[in-house]
């Protein structure tokens, strides 16, 4: 079952092989790329949590620019440990934002690009009751039948001022740099199908700890 927030759009499957080849830059400043080939991938669940005394920043380099997420280690210890582990293993490299809903969210983290991919395990960090999903907040997608706070690898970044979602999605963190890039990506979606209008690739994800 696809992991969607609210209404489920049509599943998206990219064709083609390989990624990174470009044919110029579009009007929005994104480098035009061929979509990477979808692939299923699983990883082992991490056993160690992150140190809450340290700061963990994940930078996603995309063909539209880069943005940085500061992980919410104290709020979501299992979710952030999983996400950091996947970043270190290159899980998100060469994947796409498979769902773009203008004025709502951009969603990625699925190596199959179908909305159904995950790392082969899940974690649970139920968000506080007063959680609000505002502009720049990053949270984890789940299926409608999974308990609140369930996470795989799919995440979404809120592009609305307030997405007005119920507190059911584990909070991964917040964008602390490159929010303009997120907003740029957020405009590259079809409001009817909720599919991106052009390939948006996560070329590389890196983790910085301090």
User: Is residue 162 in a domain?
Assistant: yes
User: Is residue 144 in a domain?
Assistant: yes
Structure confidence at residue 12 (pLDDT): 33
User: Is residue 141 in a domain?
Assistant: yes
Contact 93, 204 (CB under 8 A): yes
CA distances from 152 to 40, 116, 149, 164 (A): 13, 10, 10, 22
User: Is residue 16 in a domain?
Assistant: no
Structure confidence at residue 29 (pLDDT): 82
pTM over 0.85: yes
Domain total of the chain: 1
**Per residue in 159-200, pLDDT tens?**
999 999 999 999 999 999 999 999 999 999 999 999 999 999
> Under 8 Å CB-to-CB from 67, ≥6 apart: which residues?
59, 60, 157, 175, 177, 178, 179, 181, 182
Q: Is the pLDDT of residue 120 over 70?
A: yes
Q: Which helix (H) or strand (E) holds 185?
A: helix 179-186
User: Is residue 68 in a domain?
Assistant: yes
Q: Kindly report the CATH number assigned to the domain that includes residue 118.
A: 2.40.100.10
CA distances from 85 to 56, 119, 125, 206, 210 (A): 12, 11, 16, 11, 16
User: Is residue 130 in a domain?
Assistant: yes
**Per residue in 56-91, pLDDT tens?**
999 999 999 999 999 999 999 999 999 999 999 999
- Print the domain residue range for 175: 54-209
User: Is residue 31 in a domain?
Assistant: no
User: Is residue 78 in a domain?
Assistant: yes
> Under 8 Å CB-to-CB from 191, ≥6 apart: which residues?
101, 102, 103
> Under DSSP, is residue 138 helix (H, G, I), strand (E, B) or coil?
strand
> Under 8 Å CB-to-CB from 27, ≥6 apart: which residues?
none
What span, in angstroms and rounded, lies between the C-alpha atoms of 19 and 39? 13
- Cα dihedral 180, 127, 47, 109 sign: negative
**Per residue in 13-68, pLDDT tens?**
333 334 444 457 776 689 999 989 998 999 999 999 999 999 999 999 999 999 99
């Amino acid at each position: 079952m696809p992991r969607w927030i609210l209404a489920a759009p049509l599943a998206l499957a990219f064709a083609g092989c390989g990624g990174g080849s470009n044919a110029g830059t579009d009007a929005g400043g994104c480098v035009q790329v061929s979509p990477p080939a979808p692939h299923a991938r699983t990883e082992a669940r991490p056993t160690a949590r992150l140190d809450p005394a340290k700061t963990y920043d994940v930078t996603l380099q995309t063909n539209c620019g880069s943005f940085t997420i500061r992980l919410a280690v104290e709020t979501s210890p299992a979710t952030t440990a999983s996400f950091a582990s996947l970043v270190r293993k290159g899980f998100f490299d060469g994947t796409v934002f498979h769902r773009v809903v203008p004025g709502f969210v951009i969603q990625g983290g699925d190596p199959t690009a179908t909305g159904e991919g995950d790392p082969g395990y899940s974690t649970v960090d139920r968000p506080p009751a007063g959680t609000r999903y505002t502009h720049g907040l990053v949270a984890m997608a789940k299926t409608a039948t999974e308990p609140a706070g369930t996470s795989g690898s799919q995440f979404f970044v809120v592009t609305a001022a307030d997405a007005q979602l119920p507190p059911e999605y584990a909070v991964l963190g917040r964008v602390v740099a490159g929010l303009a890039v997120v907003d740029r990506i957020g405009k590259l979606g079809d409001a009817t199908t909720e599919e991106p209008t052009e390939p948006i690739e996560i070329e590389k994800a890196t983790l910085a700890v301090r």
